[in-house]
Amino acid sequence: NFMLTQPHSVSESPGKTVTISCTRSSGSIASNYVQWYQRRPGSAPTAVIYEDNQRPSGVPDRFSGSIDSSSNSASLTISGLKTEDEADYYCQSYDSRNQVFGGGTKLTVL
């Protein structure tokens, strides 16, 4: 099995831009799609990015996703930060048998 490593926490001010990374330990990041989920306290996770860079209906275009083969990582970028973006964010990918989540990143907007 591979692992997905995320920073434990990030913080930024409202209106600014933040990027959360997700590094795959083995196998190419480009081989399998990466998804990103937001989980606010007390709520179920919801997808904000699927298949590397696609936004589900209803997700604002302030959210974007990308992958970088050179660093074998994926990134979630949130621009124009709002206090409502404060949440835990998880990346997720897979191989032939398993789905794998990153450890999660706590985003604080202060």
Partner 1 sequence: QEQLVQSGSDLKKPGASLKVSCKASGYKFTDFTLNWVRLAPGQGLEWMGWINTNTGNPAYAQGFTGRFVFSLDTSVSTAYLQINSLKTEDTAIYYCARGRGVSRHYFDSWGQGTLVTVSS
Residues that bind partner 1 (CB under 8 A): 1, 32-33, 35, 37, 39, 44-47, 50-51, 56, 88, 90, 92-94, 97-104
- Cβ neighbours of residue 99 closer than 8 Å, sequence gap 6 or more: 92, 93
- Cβ neighbours of residue 57 closer than 8 Å, sequence gap 6 or more: none
The CA distance from 103 to 110, in Å, is 22
Coil, strand, or helix at residue 84?
helix
Rounded least distance, CB 104 to partner 1, Å: 4
Rounded least distance, CB 91 to partner 1, Å: 10
Q: Among residues 44 and 70, whose Cβ is nearest to partner 1?
A: 44
Q: Among residues 57 and 70, whose Cβ is nearest to partner 1?
A: 57
User: Are the CB atoms for 3 and 72 separated by under 8 Å?
Assistant: no
Q: Among residues 51 and 68, whose Cβ is nearest to partner 1?
A: 51
Rounded least distance, CB 15 to partner 1, Å: 28
Residue whose tokens read 């191989």: 95
Coil, strand, or helix at residue 27?
coil
Q: Among residues 42 and 70, whose Cβ is nearest to partner 1?
A: 42
Rounded least distance, CB 47 to partner 1, Å: 6
